[in-house]
Amino acid sequence: MQELQIEDIYQKAYIRAKCFKGIFTHDISNLFHILSNSFELCEMLIKEGLKKEEILEYFKLIEEQINRGKKLVKNITYLSELEEFEMPLESIDLLNNLKNAVNFVQVNFPKRRIDIGIYSTTERLFVIANDLLLDVFENILMNSIIYNKSEIIEIDILISELTELNKQFIKLEFKDNGIGIDDNRKKEILLESHSKSKNSKGMGIGLSLVSNLINLYGGRMWIEDRIVGDSSKGSNFILTIPKINQNELWYYAYQKH
């Protein structure tokens, strides 16, 4: 019994370490890509004739990405050096993180027409997660944009509440009008081994990391068709994240102080 418990502890630690390593690698790559694009656009604007306001906007974006990189390094270093094997969790404002993720992808795809709608019956939602929840939302949105050939990219984010096994969860559905995912690949792209698949064609970059994080939060993730039975009409990325009740909200607020 004790051996099984020890094995379980180290298995969780291994998954967590792999997850952090993947997040760091993926997000740093994205960060450098955005910085590179921003510098190229600044150079183009200067060559076309000095456009001070537009250049200052890109400088602001560059500054935001540098600060984001510093925060990422700090968070990953902190989390990876913790001696405990459980994922550190806290009270997180779900809608605030979701809106920040939407702003992030819209700024970083200026040449794409993107229409993202958030539909929630509640204005304030708190879940049990951590700062990496922003990475979860950004990765899902970026995949919906990158793998989308539509002239207008449409993403509807539906938020509802769900009870499973006497536990309350927040359910999020990211419905896009992208190229879709075949049924036989829906589970594959959420697995770590997906990145090694010769037939994957790059689909799902970051999604296995997203799935791991959601599992570590105590929730789950799966993929369905946006239009039931027709995988070519887009995808529906579904997440469940443990909801915080009023008593837990006070507890996590106290823990922060």
pLDDT tens for the chain, 257 residues: list them: 456 655 665 666 666 666 666 666 666 766 776 777 777 777 777 777 766 777 777 777 777 777 767 666 666 665 555 444 456 788 999 999 999 899 888 877 888 899 999 999 888 899 999 888 988 998 899 889 989 999 999 999 999 999 998 899 999 999 999 999 999 888 888 875 444 444 444 444 468 878 888 988 999 999 999 999 899 999 999 999 999 876 665 555 555 54
What is the distance between the alpha carbons of residues 129 and 93, in angstroms, rounded to a whole number?
Answer: 9
Where do the domains of the chain lie? 2-81, 90-247
Residues whose CB falls within 8 Å of the CB of residue 181, separated by 6 or more in sequence, listed in order: 189, 203, 223, 231, 235
CB atoms within 10 A of CB 144: 23
Exposed, middle or buried by CB within 10 Å (0-12, 13-18, 19+), for 46? exposed
| Statement: the pTM of the whole predicted model exceeds 0.75 | no
Neighbours of 22 (CB within 10 A): 18
Q: Give the architecture (CATH level 2) of 90-247.
A: 2-Layer Sandwich (3.30)
Q: For tokens 């700024």, what's the residue?
A: 107
